Structure 1
Amino acid sequence: MTLQSHHDPHKTLREHLQEVQQATHFILSCHSVNFPQTIINAIVQCHDLGKGSPAFQTYIQNPAAYNKNQADPRAKSHAFLSAVLATLWAQQEQWPAFDTLILTQAVACHHAGFKNLDELEIALELDIDDPLAAQYTALDLSLLSEISGLNLQNIDQANFEAAKWWLFKQQKIKKQLTHLALESALSLRLWAQFCLSVLLEADKAFLALHEEGAAPYLQKTAPEIPPAWIDNYLTQTTHSTPFDAFRATLQAQVILNSQVMTEKCFTLTLPTGAGKTLIAARWALALRQQLSLPKGFKPKIIVVLPYLSIIDQVEKIYQQVLGITTEEAHTDLKMASHSLADRNYELEGKALSDSYAEFFLNTWRSEVVITTFDQLLLTFFSEQNKHLMRFHNLMDAIIILDEVQTLPPRLWDIINQTLQVLAKVGQSRILMMSATQPQFLTPAQELVGTPEQVTAIFNQCQRYQIHLQHHLEQPLTGFIDSLITRVKTWLAHEQRVMITLNTRASAKRVWQALQTELALQVPIYLVSADVTPRDRLEKISNILNNQPCLVVSTQTVEAGIDIDMDVIIRDFAPLDKLIQVAGRCNRHNHRGKHGGYVEIVRLLSFNGQKYANYIYDPVLLNTTFEILENYQTIGEESVLTLSEHYFQLLHRKMNTGKELTKQYAYWQALEKSIHTLLRPQGEQISFTVLDDQKGEILRSQIKSALEIKGRWARRQALQKLAGGISERSVNVYQRRGFHPEDYADLLGYLWILKAGFYTSAAGLDLKLIEDDPAACIF
């Protein structure tokens, strides 16, 4: 008898297992870590054994007929049947309990996502009148043994729950796990995710790429990327600034210190605008070259950033460094993984098909991957397989996290502990960089050198002076009145001015007032989350031309973006954010010592509420107020000391998430999803703006995609449009009484904004009251 595994394309179970084994060998050949080969081989051989059930074989012969006849979908489920057989086989082979746990997890969850221990135990149970009981006893273990190469014939088929009984009752796996030290538990968790990740990619590889064949997938390309390419890029850069010599000195200092690396985790603490992106890139390329020699492979470089606006800037730098000429496709050299990223992929100069491109992008198939904090943390901590599939790429990788001060304190401990263990067991290298280092990656080697050397570097920077006016609270209306007069004076001297507010509503009001008074004198840009990413990036590009202008923004431009302003006014915020936004002032030192003017104010809404309190934790604000209490002005040379003091206090005052780390390490349910921890403000509603000719083309493409009858083909068509949709979308936070149908029409699952509620200049305007929660979140 021949057991079938897939309907379209047609695959027998034997063929599928052989292909998954081939893909697995390829994936593992791209790693140097001492992976558990025996466990992974068993996972591959066991993961689809449940497909031998009569119900699944009936289903796979004609899925449409099976579903039309309303047959019980539970009866055809194969993953849990496979997990029971895998667990009992491991018991028979006298496997250790933890190895068996990794095996059971991967097999049971390769369709359902990673399960905590309670969920996994339930998965090995039968429901009342469960059809899986009959399917289990009907399995032909002799045939499955012959197909898989495993000895399954002695397994007792009389009791489905014998697997659960052995693993959870006899072996007491929960108790054993809780007795592990935290580092050992984290190591087990990471290995379990590694094994599941390898299976997830290998299981889909040949199926996703069946139309063109798997040859390009199995082609291992790891081109040389010499560190000298950074030097070439710097040489070819035409513009020069008074700060360039200082940047070159820092580059040389880091190169020298990198010759002796005693740790696998590193920090890079440098002033804003000091060239951290290129310094880190050169360090990573040199390390990649160094590590590739003894290991016989080349590590992947993963660059992680907080904001899409920074990603656009960094991606362009890497594109030029790597000599990539196409801007419309990702390549085996460089790809971006975020919501705005294009979905095309080129290999050796040739465009790949949609299925290949989609698979390569979803599995991070490039030497340099540029992504967001969201994507990295979901790869670590999400239970969803679409994120976990790329987890194995984190092992052996060089991971650069930029602007790490933007990570919430609640995640500090879990990120630190997990990255430390990843570096130890996965042979990865970690670099965290910031001008305001939150000091949670420990132990770590500072690439700049000793604390004294770091201090000496910051002491050399005297580009701006911060003037503290936050003790005097100002109503927004009064602030606007005084601002207009001052701005006129600054513009008379052809200065570039930026006002950074805490909420969309306050930014909109300031922008409207300045637009009314000064629109004919100078460009006035509103840069906030009320503006679509497409329009926001265009405005930032215009701001970068260094002509006189006014910028009214929220926090979207305060970190990482290489804009250079003469005057900045900032509503009160946590200290690291004040320092970061100050780093946009006299950034290239054209105005000399303390030539940049930064002013901190504290603004009140019409009902007397501080705008800062709408969005920031009171502990962060109070700690900032405490540190700044005795200052009237602060020179840039003092910000390192203040920043270090600030984060030392936060480590004592804030919940840094130790309980979250334990939940993750010991396979417990996380109290909150990683997405909620990153975005605590709540659920969002996304409005898509299709108000021009290209928008109408996109609307037509969306309609065509939605009309595709095949579920997977429809999903792939919509996924290809996702970047274009995201770059034209703005979000508001859901709240009681808010009705999106008042502002938009549904097109499939998308809310398409009606005319009159958006312009590229003013962004989204839903005609809500000023401090409505839907309008005032950043």
Structure 2
Amino acid sequence: MFIAHIRESDNRIQTVKDHLLEVKDLAESYGEKIGVKHIAGLAGMLHDLGKYTYEFREYILEAVNNPEAPPKKGSVDHSTAGGKLLYELFHTGENIDRYKGIVAEVIGNSIISHHSYLQDFLNPDLESNYLKRVRDKELPEFDRIKQYFFKYVMNERDFHNYVDKAADELKQFLAKESSGNYEKQLMFLTKFVFSALIDADRTNTRLFEENKTNDHINNHEELFDIYYERLMRKINSYSKQKDACTPINLLRKEMSDQCDKFAERASGIYTLSIPTGGGKTLASLRYALKHAKLYSKKHIIFVVPYTTIIEQNAEEVRKILKDDANILEHHSNVIEDIDDDENQDGLISVQQKLKLAKDNWDSPIIFTTIVQFLNVFYANGSRNIRRLHNLSHSVIIFDEVQKVPISCVSLFNQALNFLKTYGCSSIVLCTATQPALDFVEHKLEINTDAEMVKNLDYVINAFKQVEIIDKATNETFNNEKLSNFIEAKISEVQSVLVILNTKSVVKDLYTQLKMKKLNLPIYHLSTSMCAAHRNKILGEIKDHLKEGNKVICVSTQLIEAGVDVSFDCVIRSLAGLDSIAQAAGRCNRHGEKDIQNVYVIDHEEEKLDRLKEIKVGKQVSKRIFIDISRDQTNHGGNILSMQAMERYFKEYYTELESNLNYFIPKLKKEMIELLMSNKKNSTYYQAYYQKNNKLPPLFLVNSYKTAAEHFRVIDDITTSVIVPYGGGKEIIAELNSNKTINEFTQLLRKVQQYTINIYDYEREQLVKNDGLVSCLDGKILVLKEGAYDKEFGLNLENDSQLDVSIF
């Protein structure tokens, strides 16, 4: 009896045979979604083949029998054998079948990597991490491993038939590629198979540990039917309200109806350009639910630029659909994702429980960020990529798509093209300011006639609620001058919102305004505050706005996308035109008053050297402002016209052209080359030949591991930490107690509301000031109470005197 796992509660054994066949079945069900059932199943069936050894059996028994003095962590490698078997059978000899050889590489890489991340086929040192494992590494018990596999798991004839089916699937998969760039699609296939394997392995291990045969899975199609009915009841109720027949509300209804009709079209990549205040969230949800019903989609995923939008949109959707349990908010990864120790596999430690906790985006409706979406495809570690297979057969709505970081535009486009063509997903680019994503080299394959809303020029004019006042062309502001300007404005109107580009300037302006003793509520908002804290502040602000009370809010740009607030006056520090348009959407949002003013200022105290995209956006916007100030007929005399916006994005992307393909300075290479280049265009492949006077025996030569190690959605690396705010304090206490995998799953979902992301320099300062503690073997970081402040959130000095438990 060879052992895969030993259950913690009763020491029951899961055999290697049972684990391999059960993971195979799960992986097959995931792979079937894109027509690669046998490719994914093969990875599942072979991934833990190396556990058919006496060495691993002795290790795991010794660890269970002597928990106080477990065996020394050695080199019990159980993840190489499956990849080695495929290489030996289908990648050696003179007449290698091309498709079976590629199958061996795609699946073999997934298998040898399932405790870390996909390996390089060829790395910058011109070596192959893949070949080192599957060709060069000696496994003392390999002959016995093969013998047991064919005896107990699948006989040789059936196995070869199974591989034949996998090779046929690969042929059909590659036949969809018209450009001939098979390496790009093989990269996505490898990542999809790896995702299916990781999720199948962890799901099966968790089910065994919880003594379950399978998960209770909701019928998503049935849920979508119920949700659609509830949504339509809500939408129909608007028609009975006394202001239902105002021109604006009639136009909102018309656009919503157009989205409903559009849902009947086949899946593809489409745009939804409803202006700010036009009912974008409900209109896109209406499209998504109807399309999911008609085309049997499994998930509806909202992807947004900021966590603030997640909180508000998720709450709005929950209220309408009347369902908390099946709507997932995923803000960030609370657990640090580092390579596993293979020796720990089989034993259920705290680390294993955290790894096995359900974190795979299998909910029917998911709200997440663009950072998390891009991490699924390109970031290092196995936690992110585990979710990839659940992006297929989905409706994915990108809210404020213009906020995709410039360096990631090409990678973003390629991921969406894969999901459209291979993943059978429908994708909606949802924003009032559509970026020119087809202007870049690696174009997005948007469908023809893609816009859901008709007569956009008319719609934009109908929703004009504000006048943009240019105060950036002829003067600059510092915080002293700005605070005086705000004081003057709040004497004229009831509410003022100020949006600046950096947290430090926001904090300083807020402090100056408080010192003026204006005798009215003044609020501060930034990403240094956790979601629950920001929600509380926003709730208070909305109450003041609703009551018509005087109120001032000073915020970073987090408030300008998707937050449903409406101020009488907005002051926006000069930035990209898309940001100015979003800021304008927080002023007179529902047209409740006559045209109100949005002032654009040039703030001289903002340091933007490390914020290159904001800096370039500011420069391009200023040129357009100057053009209009010289000639009022330019761009229709409107800084937010479609002509101005088109010019803005083309100049913006042109100025940042060298950044679009994610250039890696250290390697002097673009990410696209590492991931997707063919042999002819691969400098590593050519250099290998020059160095060794022979070609590497590989079909694929891409550098998946190296690319992932260098990938960051934003330049600065951040770490998620839990804050002791409100319910966060209780969660911190619970995390330090012994929990089941299911309890950890629930806690990790709840904790999303109580996390912030800190930069490395902030982490170092917190450590220096004793403001940071770790729990669960260092896997989760927590702020001490003194390191969190009632007004500003993160306090690097760790000297907050406030009792945060009462907020």
- Return the TM-score normalized by structure 2: 0.77
Q: Deviations over 1:670-706 (max 9, x none)?
A: 77658853221x24466654377x565445334x33x
Pairwise mapping of residues 605-754 of structure 1 onto structure 2 (< 5 A)? 605=605, 610-613=606-609, 615-617=611-613, 618-632=615-629, 638-655=640-657, 656-657=660-661, 659-666=670-677, 667-669=702-704, 673=708, 677-680=712-715, 682-684=716-718, 689-690=723-724, 697-702=730-735, 704-705=736-737, 708=738, 717=744, 720=747, 723-724=750-751, 727=754, 729=756, 731=758, 734=761, 738=765, 740-742=767-769, 744-748=771-775, 749=778
Pairwise mapping of residues 426-437 of structure 1 onto structure 2 (< 5 A)? 426-437=423-434
Partner in structure 1 of residue 373 of structure 2: 376
Shift of the 581–18 alpha-carbon distance from structure 1 to 2, 3 Å rule, reads same
Partner in structure 2 of residue 209 of structure 1: 207
Gaps of 5+ in 2: 161-173, 336-351, 439-443, 663-669, 678-701, 799-807
**Is the Cα contact below 8 Å between 1:476 and 1:506 reproduced in 2?**
no
Pairwise mapping of residues 128-167 of structure 1 onto structure 2 (< 5 A)? 133-137=138-142, 139-151=144-156
Partner in structure 2 of residue 125 of structure 1: 132
Q: What letter matches 2:374 in structure 1?
A: L
**Is the Cα contact below 8 Å between 1:460 and 1:637 reproduced in 2?**
no
Per the TM alignment, residue 467 of structure 1 is displaced from its structure 2 partner at its CA by 0.7
Secondary structure (helix, strand or coil) at the match of 1:620 reads helix
Shift of the 154–188 alpha-carbon distance from structure 1 to 2, 3 Å rule, reads closer
Secondary structure (helix, strand or coil) at the match of 1:225 reads helix
Distance 1:696 1:265 in 2: 43
Partner in structure 1 of residue 290 of structure 2: 286
Distance 2:564 2:204 in 1: 43
Partner in structure 1 of residue 168 of structure 2: none
Shift of the 122–496 alpha-carbon distance from structure 1 to 2, 3 Å rule, reads same
Partner in structure 2 of residue 11 of structure 1: 14
1:24 pairs with 2:27: yes
Secondary structure (helix, strand or coil) at the match of 1:117 reads coil
Partner in structure 2 of residue 163 of structure 1: none
Q: Deviations over 1:349-382 (max 9, x none)?
A: xxxxxx9999684122222222221221111112
More deviation in 740-749 or 633-642?
633-642
Partner in structure 1 of residue 339 of structure 2: none
**Is the Cα contact below 8 Å between 1:496 and 1:550 reproduced in 2?**
yes
Partner in structure 1 of residue 45 of structure 2: 45
Secondary structure (helix, strand or coil) at the match of 1:365 reads coil
Distance 2:242 2:522 in 1: 25
Shift of the 45–736 alpha-carbon distance from structure 1 to 2, 3 Å rule, reads closer
Secondary structure (helix, strand or coil) at the match of 1:568 reads strand
Shift of the 730–57 alpha-carbon distance from structure 1 to 2, 3 Å rule, reads closer
Per the TM alignment, residue 538 of structure 1 is displaced from its structure 2 partner at its CA by 0.9
Secondary structure (helix, strand or coil) at the match of 1:272 reads coil
**Is the Cα contact below 8 Å between 1:502 and 1:615 reproduced in 2?**
no
Shift of the 340–233 alpha-carbon distance from structure 1 to 2, 3 Å rule, reads farther
Distance 2:354 2:773 in 1: 29
Shift of the 729–662 alpha-carbon distance from structure 1 to 2, 3 Å rule, reads closer
Per the TM alignment, residue 66 of structure 1 is displaced from its structure 2 partner at its CA by 8.7
Per the TM alignment, residue 462 of structure 1 is displaced from its structure 2 partner at its CA by 1.9
Per the TM alignment, residue 498 of structure 1 is displaced from its structure 2 partner at its CA by 0.4
**Is the Cα contact below 8 Å between 2:313 and 2:562 reproduced in 1?**
no
Instruction: Identify which of 574, 577, 587 aligns with 1:575.
Output: 577
Q: What letter matches 1:515 in structure 2?
A: K
Partner in structure 2 of residue 345 of structure 1: none
Distance 1:434 1:651 in 2: 18
Distance 2:484 2:217 in 1: 65
1:536 pairs with 2:529: no
**Is the Cα contact below 8 Å between 2:81 and 2:139 reproduced in 1?**
no
Distance 2:274 2:706 in 1: 35
Secondary structure (helix, strand or coil) at the match of 2:132 reads coil
Secondary structure (helix, strand or coil) at the match of 1:79 reads coil
**Is the Cα contact below 8 Å between 1:89 and 1:151 reproduced in 2?**
no
Provide the identity percentage.
Answer: 21
Q: Deviations over 1:599-628 (max 9, x none)?
A: 0111223xxxx4445534343222222222
Per the TM alignment, residue 509 of structure 1 is displaced from its structure 2 partner at its CA by 2.0
Q: What letter matches 2:603 in structure 1?
A: L
Distance 2:282 2:518 in 1: 37
Q: How many residues align?
A: 698
Secondary structure (helix, strand or coil) at the match of 1:431 reads strand
Partner in structure 2 of residue 304 of structure 1: 303
Secondary structure (helix, strand or coil) at the match of 2:712 reads helix
Partner in structure 2 of residue 101 of structure 1: 105
- Return the TM-score normalized by structure 1: 0.80
Per the TM alignment, residue 49 of structure 1 is displaced from its structure 2 partner at its CA by 1.8
Distance 2:45 2:706 in 1: 34
Q: Deviations over 1:237-277 (max 9, x none)?
A: 6796863222112122334455555x711111121121111
Distance 2:205 2:741 in 1: 17
Q: What letter matches 1:536 in structure 2?
A: R
Q: What letter matches 2:465 in structure 1?
A: R
Distance 1:425 1:734 in 2: 41
Instruction: Identify which of 239, 247, 253 aligns with 1:248.
Output: 253
Per the TM alignment, residue 729 of structure 1 is displaced from its structure 2 partner at its CA by 4.3
**Is the Cα contact below 8 Å between 1:144 and 1:152 reproduced in 2?**
no
Partner in structure 2 of residue 78 of structure 1: 78
Secondary structure (helix, strand or coil) at the match of 2:156 reads coil
Q: Deviations over 1:296-351 (max 9, x none)?
A: xx432111112111111111222133222x4xxx33xx322224999xxxxxxxxx
Q: Deviations over 1:469-507 (max 9, x none)?
A: 1124435244245225413413xx4x2210111222211
Distance 1:662 1:268 in 2: 32
**Is the Cα contact below 8 Å between 1:683 and 1:734 reproduced in 2?**
no
**Is the Cα contact below 8 Å between 1:303 and 1:400 reproduced in 2?**
yes
Q: What letter matches 2:414 in structure 1?
A: Q
Partner in structure 2 of residue 230 of structure 1: 231
Instruction: Identify which of 409, 420, 426 aligns with 1:412.
Output: 409
Q: What letter matches 1:252 in structure 2?
A: D
Per the TM alignment, residue 557 of structure 1 is displaced from its structure 2 partner at its CA by 0.5
Per the TM alignment, residue 126 of structure 1 is displaced from its structure 2 partner at its CA by 6.3
Gaps of 5+ in 1: 156-175, 293-297, 343-354, 769-778
Secondary structure (helix, strand or coil) at the match of 2:224 reads coil
Pairwise mapping of residues 354-373 of structure 1 onto structure 2 (< 5 A)? 361-373=358-370
Partner in structure 2 of residue 585 of structure 1: 587
Q: What letter matches 1:523 in structure 2?
A: P
Distance 1:758 1:154 in 2: 58
Distance 1:143 1:448 in 2: 55
User: What value does the CA root-mean-square deviation take over the aligned residues?
Assistant: 3.9
Per the TM alignment, residue 566 of structure 1 is displaced from its structure 2 partner at its CA by 1.0
**Is the Cα contact below 8 Å between 2:206 and 2:741 reproduced in 1?**
no
Shift of the 13–99 alpha-carbon distance from structure 1 to 2, 3 Å rule, reads same
Shift of the 217–84 alpha-carbon distance from structure 1 to 2, 3 Å rule, reads farther
Per the TM alignment, residue 69 of structure 1 is displaced from its structure 2 partner at its CA by 6.8
**Is the Cα contact below 8 Å between 2:496 and 2:552 reproduced in 1?**
yes
Q: Deviations over 1:412-443 (max 9, x none)?
A: 11111221132112211111111111121633
Distance 1:102 1:404 in 2: 32
Q: What letter matches 2:292 in structure 1?
A: R
**Is the Cα contact below 8 Å between 1:89 and 1:152 reproduced in 2?**
no
Per the TM alignment, residue 445 of structure 1 is displaced from its structure 2 partner at its CA by 3.8
Distance 1:337 1:306 in 2: 12
Secondary structure (helix, strand or coil) at the match of 1:78 reads coil
Partner in structure 1 of residue 465 of structure 2: 463
Q: What letter matches 2:789 in structure 1?
A: T
**Is the Cα contact below 8 Å between 1:335 and 1:368 reproduced in 2?**
yes
Secondary structure (helix, strand or coil) at the match of 2:222 reads coil
Secondary structure (helix, strand or coil) at the match of 2:455 reads helix
Secondary structure (helix, strand or coil) at the match of 2:41 reads helix
Instruction: Identify which of 782, 785, 789 aligns with 1:759.
Output: 789
Per the TM alignment, residue 235 of structure 1 is displaced from its structure 2 partner at its CA by 3.3
Distance 1:638 1:533 in 2: 31
More deviation in 671-680 or 245-254?
671-680
Partner in structure 2 of residue 602 of structure 1: 602
Per the TM alignment, residue 42 of structure 1 is displaced from its structure 2 partner at its CA by 2.5
